[in-house]
Amino acid sequence: MSETMERHFKALELDKILHLLAEETSCDAAAELAQNLRPSTSLSQVKRLLTETDEAHTMMARFGAPSFGGLKDVSNSLRRAEAGGTLNMTELLRIATALRTLRGIVDWRSKSEGVKSILDDRFDAIMPNKYLEDRINHAILSEEEMADNASPQLATIRRKIRSASSRAREQLEKMVRSPVTQKYLQDPIITMRDGRFVVPVKAECRGDVPGLVHDTSSSGATVFVEPMAVVEANNEVRVLLSQEQAEMERILAELSAEAGNFASGIISGYKEAVELNLIFAKANLGYKMKATLPLVNDEGKIELKRARHPLIDKEKVVPTDIELGLHFDTLVITGPNTGGKTVSLKTVGLLTLMAMCGLLLPVADNSQISIFNHVLADIGDEQSIEQSLSTFSAHMTNIIKIFEQADASSLILLDELGAGTDPIEGAALAMSILEALRRKGTRIAATTHYAELKAYALQTEGVENACCEFDVTTLRPTYRLLIGVPGRSNAFAISLRLGMDPEIVEHARELVSSENTRFEDVVQSLETSRQRLEEERKEAQRQRLEAEEASRAAKERKDAIDAQADREMEEARRRASELIARTRGQIDVMLNEMEELKKQKNKALTAEQKAKLKSGLRALENEADPVRKKDEEAYVLPRPLKKGDPVLIYDIDKKGTVLQPPDKDGKTALVQAGIIQTRVPVSNLRLLNEKPVKKPQGSVTRSVNRANVRAAMELDVRGQTSDEALMNVDQFIDSAVLAGINMLTIIHGKGTGALRAAVQQHLKRHPNVKSFRLGTFGEGEAGVTIVELK
């Protein structure tokens, strides 16, 4: 990137955005990438970069951000290990830390592996190596300490060192505690010199303690003597320490060789992790800016909705709409100083560069931005004292350089065009510059004070006026950019508000040419109309939002009511099903008892008695079912009922005869059904001679004898696996509950006791089991379990 382009980027403050991006990274390499990030001029590449950032933004919102902490550049160490070099413990630990970070990144992605992403290729390129990571961490405890169990040889050597050191200390401790030698010692302590255990002996008693002198105190009053009794033990320690060092170097060489074998894969994964760190840093920066993904084109079309300059405090920045390249190729922004003209100019340029770097933009949804080959800016006072250039000369020098680079794919941003010289000449020169740049096909946004340029924009096709709104009442700019409205001079109004003598202001008005006055009056009229329409638009938008909110609330309430109704209906069906199941169980038991009673009395039931019994049972089942389907068409009696009419009691499918017609309220009638007289709702009666109605038969009645009931009270699971047995126990208990049986026997045998333990453990957790016990004498003892149901 040329130095000239860097100057343009700096004028638009891209370097400050990249600094903010670098602060969001977690490692030095990613921070360096962020600082060196430069805009891309390839549409496909910009789209890919933006898509990566947007998908990282989405994944962060759903799953949180992956951790890139501990990601260090270990490439040099790995290459040295690959070449046969031996790494120290610090370098190996850094490799292990990097491997742990890479593994953490892959583990994070695996938690969301069901969601496809354009970033998957980058994640797949990271190959964790837990084997090497564990080997290093198992062998090395810290940068200065190797673990005893790094190898069996090292563990043996260190055990011998501890043993030899212990023997030497024991000998010296005897001397220190001995009354004979204590008087020769300066202090009753054991210390070390040159890796050997010694005792401090008084200089004058040197001959009384035979041994080797290793050191003398600074005063000369003490000599450090290695007694002859411990020389051999110390020698052994020194030899073992040398062996320890050699073994540690061998282990480091072995670990280094392992790391070298995996060097290329680790370095490749590290580079991908750095790239991912940068992408997620972009996403996090976008989250802090409340940014969105813009639409991107290379046709010079810019449409920014509620754009915010990212370097202005988000509590103070005023969102503004900016358009360029859709209906016009040149935007002329006018208005007073400090009104926000330069901020609008910088916002267009900076957001364009950010998008070309793959950064999300602080704009509303459906905004679009264009990429350009060149983004060229002449912003600020570039007066150079060393070059003796005036403000005007500096601006002209920059514009000349811009002319040299500008082409049809360029965005040109010019601040205070033509300023710093005679107003008439400056305005003429400004118009000429705009015309020349337009002929090159560029997109231009320029700020100016010249009234002549307002008229130029009004009269020239493809050129549009814009101004930064100014509140004369408060004497403050609102910083909103109004496209299509030329900025008007507020000098007279501001002067009056500040207390200027009205006569002076009025005389100034008279000095202004009549054409200029009429122009300003037209601008004032346009501004008044615009403000009125703006207020009306805001009111219409407010009402629309209120209507949408009311509609949404009503829909949510309806959905909630529907959901509640569905839940209540489902609960009713569930309870009805349970009630029907219990009723059927009672019916089966009743039939079984009656069949048993018939056998005991040795007499058969007549067909009529059986039919009555079945009909009564069906009535019991129907009465117990609270969820009944209504007739598809409501039944209406063809005529009023009278005494003697044959009728059908519809819900129990029972024929009867009307004994008394409906009473005064007309709701019930007295009906004889068999030997029973009962009052029945008129709505439940059907006239048989008018329209006989047969209720669909759906009931199933089965006869269960006592032997079957007894068999249903016992379950034999001997010879089955635990899983098979527990499944059969569940089915057994469910059947018993439906049949109304509350005491069961499960036969599991004695054997090893494993099946019994599994069954009883399962019974503890079963919701229908009240208690259970082993069988007693005569019941099967420990081979059976007696279960009592709730």
Cα atoms in the Cβ-side hemisphere of radius 13 Å centred on 76 = 4
For 732-770, what is each residue's pLDDT tens digit? 888 888 777 788 899 888 888 888 889 988 898 888 898
648 DSSP 8-state letter: E
Question: Model confidence at 103, in pLDDT bands (50, 70, 90)?
Answer: very high
Range name among 289-293, 383-387, 531-535, 620-624 with the lowest pLDDT average: 383-387
Query: What does the pLDDT look like over 503-534, one tens digit per residue?
Result: 887 777 677 654 455 455 555 556 566 667 77
653-677 average pLDDT score = 81
Among candidate residues 493, 468, 488, 492, the one with its CA nearest the CA of residue 479: 468
The residue type of 85 is G
Is the pLDDT score of 387 beyond 50?
no
Residue 704 is predicted with a pLDDT of 43
Question: 656-665: long-range contacts at Cβ-Cβ below 8 A with a sequence spacing of 24 or more?
Answer: 656/680, 658/685
Q: Cβ-count burial of 203 within 10 angstroms (0-12 exposed, 13-18 middle, 19+ buried)? A: middle
Name the H helices within 656-779: 706-712, 722-739, 754-765
Answer yes or no: is pLDDT of 711 > 60. Answer: no
pLDDT classification of 700: cutoffs 50, 70, 90: very low
| Residues whose CB falls within 8 Å of the CB of residue 158, separated by 6 or more in sequence, listed in order | 148, 244
Rounded distance between C-alpha atoms, residue 316 and residue 313, angstroms: 5
Task: List helix spans (H) across 64-190.
Answer: 75-82, 89-110, 120-124, 130-139, 152-177, 179-182
pLDDT per residue as tens digits for the range 281-326: 999 999 999 999 999 999 999 999 999 999 888 787 888 899 998 8
From the number of C-beta atoms within 10 Å of its C-beta (0-12, 13-18, 19+), residue 510 rates as exposed
Q: If you average pLDDT over residues 623-636, what whole number do you get? A: 53
pLDDT at 211 over 60: yes
Alpha carbon 69 to chain centroid distance?
18
**3-state secondary structure string, 295-309?**
EEECCCCEEEEEECC
Indicate the pairing of strand 410-414 with strand 374-378: parallel
> 723 or 48, which is more confident?
48
Q: Does the structure show a pLDDT above 90 at 565?
A: no
Q: How far apart are CA 373 and CA 2, in angstroms?
A: 13
CA 701 to chain centre: 58
- Tell me: pLDDT of 473 over 50: yes
Could you tell me how many helices (H) and strands (E) the chain has, helices first?
23, 25
On the 0-12 / 13-18 / 19+ scale of CB atoms within 10 A, 736 is: buried
Mark the binding-site residues, compressed into ranges.
335-342
* Residue range 392-436, pLDDT digits in tens: 788 888 889 898 889 999 999 998 887 777 778 888 888 999 999
What the block records as the tokens of 624 is 């117990």
Question: In whole numbers, what is the pLDDT of the chain averaged over residues?
Answer: 81
Residues 6+ apart with CB under 8 A from 593: none
pLDDT at 735: 83
Q: List the single range of 193-202, 264-273, 422-431, 699-708 with lowest mean pLDDT.
A: 699-708
Supply the pLDDT for residue 133.
92
Looking only at the bridges linking them, the beta strands covering 330-334 and 443-448 are parallel
Question: Is the dihedral angle over the CA atoms 613, 619, 625, 627 positive or is it negative?
Answer: positive
Q: Are 648 and 655 in contact (CB under 8 A)?
A: yes
pLDDT tens string 20-69 = 999 999 999 999 999 999 999 999 999 999 999 999 999 988 888 899 98
According to DSSP, the residues that pair with 333 across neighbouring strands are 447, 466
Angle between helices 130-139 and 89-110 (to 10 degrees): 140
pLDDT at residue 563, rounded to an integer:
84
Examine the pLDDT at 586 and tell me if it is beyond 80.
no
Per-residue confidence (pLDDT) for residue 622, from 0 to 100: 57
Q: Annotated binding site for ATP: which residue ranges?
A: 335-342
The rounded distance, in Å, linking the Cα atoms of 585 and 590 is 9
Q: Say if residue 471 is exposed, middle or buried (CB neighbours under 10 Å; 0-12, 13-18, 19+).
A: exposed
**For residue 643, pLDDT beyond 70:** yes
Q: How confident is the model at residue 632 (pLDDT cuts 50, 70, 90)?
A: very low
Alpha carbons 233 and 231: distance in angstroms, whole number: 6
Q: How confident is the model at residue 207 (pLDDT cuts 50, 70, 90)?
A: confident
Q: How far apart are CA 406 and CA 735, in angstroms?
A: 88
**pLDDT (average), residues 620-638:** 57
Q: Which pLDDT score is estimated for 708? A: 47
Lowest mean pLDDT among 87-96, 201-210, 271-280, 421-430: 201-210
d(CA 248, CA 733): 67
> Which token pair is 255?
């670990």
Count of CA atoms in the C-beta half-sphere (13 A) of 711: 5
CB 176 within 8 A of CB 199: yes
pLDDT at 602 over 60: no
| Domains within the chain, CATH numbers bracketed | 3-129+262-288 (1.10.1420.10), 150-256 (1.10.1420.10), 295-499 (3.40.50.300), 639-690 (2.30.30.30), 713-789 (3.30.1370.110)
> CA angle at residue 18 from 14 to 19, to 5 degrees?
115
Parallel, antiparallel, or unpaired: how do β-strands 302-307 and 320-324 relate? Answer: antiparallel
Q: Which of 214-228, 357-371, 587-601 has the lowest mean pLDDT?
A: 587-601
Non-local CB neighbours of 287 within 8 Å, separated by 6+ positions: 57, 60, 61
Give the model's pLDDT for residue 712. 56
